Amino acid sequence: MIRIFSDSTCELSPQRQKELNVEVIPLSVHFGDESFRDGIDLTNADFYARLRAAQELPHTAQVNPDEFVERFRPCLEQGDEIVGVFLSSQLSGTFQSAMIARQILGEERIHIVDSTTVTFGLGLLVEMAARLRDEGKDVQGIVAGLGELIPRLRLYAVVETLKYLKMGGRISAATAMVGGVLGVTPILNVRDGVVEAAGKSRGRKGGYQWMARKLEEEPVDLSLPVAFAHTDAPELMAECEAFFLPLLPSVQIREGEIGSVVGTHAGPGATGIAYFTKE
């Protein structure tokens, strides 16, 4: 049997994890001395309520090698093979922890993939890994298939406020103040493993128009799923979907809520789209 693993930043709900038959290992978030496993010990609603009231950002922590060893070993003892698809190695040490666990176990049956992305973009890759497995691909075929898809993955998002980017040191206080006064909406992009400020617009709908131009430049592969997600703002995700769906006829849609690890930096009120470009 081929077992597919990811981490909690893939933002797949417990129900979707079960449907796909994938296993998700949580990162953790720390508010002061309190520690919570992402998506397990703290609901997203409780997390965003805490985040809105926080005077400083919580800290997030990677999965450690021991946790991977603990989760991988029983699978290997049953004779299974493992494909692990984890968030970008440039954003977290989780990928490296998985590699260390592989070295500890000394197993050729563990295959670790650096997604070079995070959040609902990672979720799309996990969906595709499960699809390749269910189509009868062996582990080499799954890893090769993901290798072809990763360069074609695009993720764009607009954020509601610059407050959390400022608190996390991503932008200066002066930039945050000017952005707030001018109503500038930053557009974020995950590409080649890092989060970038890809552009800016006046207002959220201006952000959607900016992203729509990107979809024209790099057209969507309509045979593969497209994902929309949000940070504690389902109504904004619905607005985003309503804008883009006329551009995406007959496409398979995935929806999700961004959890505590990525939400720490994006803050509430973010929404975006992830998709694969045509070959």
Q: How far apart are alpha carbons 37 and 28 in whole angstroms?
A: 4
- Note the pLDDT of residue 172: 52
Q: How far apart are alpha carbons 279 and 276 in whole angstroms?
A: 9
Considering only CA atoms, which of 203, 276, 278 is closest in space to residue 243?
Answer: 203
Q: Following DSSP, what letter does each residue of 136-156 receive, concatenated?
A: T--HHHHHHHHHHHGGGEEEE
- Residues (pLDDT < 50) of the chain are 170, 174-175, 177-179, 181
pTM of the model: 0.93
- Note the pLDDT of residue 72: 97
- Note the pLDDT of residue 229: 97
- Note the pLDDT of residue 174: 45
- What digits encode the pLDDT tens for the residues 193-213? 888 777 778 888 999 999 999
- Note the pLDDT of residue 203: 83
Can you list the positions of beta strands (E) in the chain? 2-7, 22-25, 28-31, 34-37, 59-61, 81-86, 110-114, 153-158, 184-191, 194-202, 226-230, 253-257, 271-276
- Note the pLDDT of residue 173: 53
- Note the pLDDT of residue 196: 77
Residue 106 has φ and ψ, to the nearest 5°, of 60, 40
Domains of the chain (ranges; CATH) run 2-151 (3.40.50.10170), 152-276 (3.30.1180.10)
